[in-house]
Chains A and B, each alone.
Chain A
Amino acid sequence: MTLALDHTAIVRSIRGRLALRRRSITLGLALALALTFALALYLGDYPVAPGDVLRSLFSPLTGEVNKGVDFIVLNVRVPRAVLAVLTGISFALSGIIFQTLLRNPLASPDIIGISHGASASAVFCIIVFGMSGLWVSFGAFAGAILTALAIYGLAWRNGVTAYRVVLIGIGMAAIMSAVMSYLFTRARLFEVQQALAWLIGSLNAANAADIYPLALALLVLIPLTIALVRTLDAMQLGDDTATALGARVEFSRLGLILAAVGYAAFATAAVGPVSFVAFVAGPIARRLLNGAGNGFLQAALVGALVMLGSDMVAQHALPSIQLPVGVVTGVFGALFLLWLLTASNRAGRVN
């Protein structure tokens, strides 16, 4: 009996150690995010002292008003930082859900064609219909959903296998790129410029109106994800094992795919197809955890951090020029991809 208790104590201590690691990393990421967020409110062309930033943040409560500073802080920097955090979370969760479901680190929405579908649709809206602003976002959203449906439909053969989704997704990405290229050859220079700016993805024109649709979507999608993530723990062991453990595999997979497409669609609609955030967040979070958890919460924090950090680099790296955030995440993500391909020497890790 004491022996059995000893054994239980061993299991408990191992689980405790994993939980401690998980919590420390979550706390570390949260602190880093809080610091970066504070820095994002402080840095800018127009100097605002830290005390004034704080006063401005609390001005709706205290009633102390300083119009110029309040405008800079509340109408420019806060919406921009909040949008960066929310889109970072969305891209990251979309990426890690796809990567986990399809058991492939390459299977993020910016690689299996969903972002391409959104982009092609947005470019179509800009060039053919001459749309701009919110309508382009709506077009991108519809494009993401339709592309995801097409991939799912084409990959379906008595159920969906990861392998087919990845292959068909990559094919879909190529088709969508071709559609964009064709549209560009038919467009006027001004439209091409506008479309390209959208395609790189940017927070430069962020305002509160971009935040609401995404925030509302997250209010629905995050609880849905939390409800289904437990099933994903079983599904990671393979479909048969998951069913054997009593998981409702097809039902959960459909729900998770809907959530992942939703994240990608709403985030892309808000800021454009900012490349590689979805792709890097999950693998970075899992590498930090090193087996101490499924990494969803941590990936969301990493995504927010990457997005916010990249945007700060994009804003302040070059004097007098504001780069689109997508340029910075693109460079960062490309380096990460190269590292992933060279560093993962274990067979079957990336295939």
Chain B
Amino acid sequence: MSANHQLIAAGMDLGYGDRQVVADFNLTIPPGKLTVIVGANACGKSTVLRGMARLLAPTRGAVYLDGKPIHTMPTREVATVLGVLPQSPIAPDAIVVADLVGRGRYPHQGWFRRWTPEDDAAVAEALRATDTLELADRPVDELSGGQRQRVWIAMALAQQTDLLLLDEPTTFLDINHQVEVLDLLTDLVRNNGRTIVVVLHDLNLACRYADHIVAMKAGRLVAEGRPSDVMTEAIVADVFGMASRVVIDPISDTPMIVPIGRHHIGAGALA
């Protein structure tokens, strides 16, 4: 499962109705890497993800999956290569974890090809990878936020796609669960050679976990590259309109952004 599919946005404009949200967006997703998209609220990062996942058609430009325009490909064919976990998926009432994760097998089934032992194996593997095997017969309604998020990721994993796009998979999670989820995604990239794109809110976690970081502002790409090359005080000031000090994360040696507000500025900071 390391065919390393190629996903490219070329001159993509995206919008809802008359409102343009993303303009002239160019991005090549590096294969076999964890790419993180960051930016202020409403900068269009989720919209970019939806565009690249063919959930939203570009008004101009195109997205290419392995050289083919993704919005004209049969959606089922895309679904065997590219998996997406949207921001707020809905769990049907009373559904059991194993059943929900099994829905990820949808693109591998058809009118005449129903559930097979292969599907059982894929679901089991997804549950194991997300450490949710012991939840498998519990109703999804009864899970905690962190457990539920892991179950949704398991559903996306059961789809067994080379490319995986996740929209803020750590929102609403406690810090320990955020780290757990990002560790899991890193495992998938390093051990299985998957290509993963994530939208994240937390800059420091983004800098720590990203192989490739993409900073956006007002619907445009501002900078991309390795976090240590990209995340400078100037870029943070540009993207978030906020003064900061960039230090080295003592754990991961990646950039760590320490915000500077109007209050609580110690004497040491002036030095």
Q: A-side interface residues toward B, CB under 8 Å? A: 4, 7-8, 10-12, 14-15, 17-18, 103, 158, 227, 230, 233-234, 236-238, 240-241, 243-248, 286, 289-292, 346, 349
Selected from B16, B78, B94, B102, the residue in CB contact (under 8 A) with A246 is B78
Q: Please, how many angstroms separate the alpha-carbon atoms of A292 and B80 in the complex?
A: 26
Contacts of B117 in A (CB 8 A): 8, 12
Contacts of B159 in A (CB 8 A): 245
Counting contact residues on chain B (CB < 8 A from A), the size range is 35 or more
In contact, A11 and B136 (Cβ under 8 angstroms): yes
Q: Please, how many angstroms separate the alpha-carbon atoms of A8 and B133 in the complex?
A: 10
In contact, A15 and B102 (Cβ under 8 angstroms): yes
Smallest CB–CB gap between B19 and chain A, Å?
Answer: 12
In contact, A291 and B99 (Cβ under 8 angstroms): yes
Selected from B17, B85, B90, B102, the residue in CB contact (under 8 A) with A158 is B17
In contact, B137 and A244 (Cβ under 8 angstroms): no
In contact, A237 and B84 (Cβ under 8 angstroms): no
Contacts of A240 in B (CB 8 A): 50, 55, 84, 86, 89
Provide a sorted-by-A list of 10 A–B residue pairs whose CB atoms are within 8 angstroms. Answer: A7-B133, A14-B96, A17-B137, A237-B100, A238-B90, A241-B84, A244-B83, A244-B86, A286-B94, A346-B141
Contacts of A248 in B (CB 8 A): 75
Contacts of A243 in B (CB 8 A): 54-55, 75
Contacts of A238 in B (CB 8 A): 86, 88-90
Q: B-side interface residues toward A, CB under 8 Å? A: 16-17, 50, 53-55, 75-80, 83-86, 88-96, 98-100, 102-104, 106-107, 109, 111, 115, 117, 120-121, 123-125, 127-128, 133, 136-137, 139, 141, 159
Q: Please, how many angstroms separate the alpha-carbon atoms of A114 and B93 in the complex?
A: 25
Smallest CB–CB gap between B72 and chain A, Å?
Answer: 14
Beyond the given A240-B50, A246-B76, A291-B94, could you list 18 further A-B residue pairs with CB under 8 A, ordered by the A residue number? A4-B125, A7-B124, A7-B125, A11-B124, A11-B136, A14-B96, A18-B96, A158-B17, A230-B111, A237-B90, A237-B100, A243-B54, A243-B75, A244-B83, A244-B85, A246-B75, A248-B75, A291-B93
Chain A: which residue is nearest B137 at the CB level?
Answer: A14
In contact, B128 and A244 (Cβ under 8 angstroms): no
In contact, A246 and B80 (Cβ under 8 angstroms): yes
Smallest CB–CB gap between A100 and chain B, Å?
Answer: 8
In contact, B55 and A244 (Cβ under 8 angstroms): yes
Contacts of B136 in A (CB 8 A): 10-11, 14
Smallest CB–CB gap between A160 and chain B, Å?
Answer: 15
Selected from A8, A14, A227, A237, the residue in CB contact (under 8 A) with B92 is A237
In contact, A234 and B53 (Cβ under 8 angstroms): no
Contacts of B103 in A (CB 8 A): 233-234, 237, 245
Selected from B16, B90, B109, B121, the residue in CB contact (under 8 A) with A241 is B90
Given A15-B102, A233-B103, A247-B75, CB of A291 within 8 Å of CB of B96: yes
Chain A: which residue is nearest B56 at the CB level?
Answer: A240
Contacts of B133 in A (CB 8 A): 7, 10
Contacts of A10 in B (CB 8 A): 124, 133, 136
Contacts of A346 in B (CB 8 A): 141
Selected from B77, B94, B95, B106, the residue in CB contact (under 8 A) with A234 is B106
Contacts of B85 in A (CB 8 A): 241, 244
Smallest CB–CB gap between B49 and chain A, Å?
Answer: 10
Interface core residue of A12, A238, A244, A346 (most chain B CB under 10 Å): A244
Smallest CB–CB gap between B71 and chain A, Å?
Answer: 11
Contacts of A158 in B (CB 8 A): 16-17
In contact, A247 and B125 (Cβ under 8 angstroms): no
Given A10-B136, A290-B94, A291-B95, CB of A241 within 8 Å of CB of B102: no
Selected from B95, B106, B111, B120, the residue in CB contact (under 8 A) with A15 is B120
Selected from B16, B83, B98, B104, the residue in CB contact (under 8 A) with A11 is B98
In contact, B124 and A8 (Cβ under 8 angstroms): yes
Q: Please, how many angstroms separate the alpha-carbon atoms of A315 and B85 in the complex?
A: 54
Q: Please, how many angstroms separate the alpha-carbon atoms of A14 and B120 in the complex?
A: 10
Q: Please, how many angstroms separate the alpha-carbon atoms of A227 and B136 in the complex?
A: 29
Chain B: which residue is nearest A294 at the CB level?
Answer: B92
In contact, A4 and B139 (Cβ under 8 angstroms): no
In contact, A241 and B96 (Cβ under 8 angstroms): no
Smallest CB–CB gap between A243 and chain B, Å?
Answer: 5
Q: Please, how many angstroms separate the alpha-carbon atoms of A11 and B101 in the complex?
A: 10
In contact, B121 and A8 (Cβ under 8 angstroms): yes
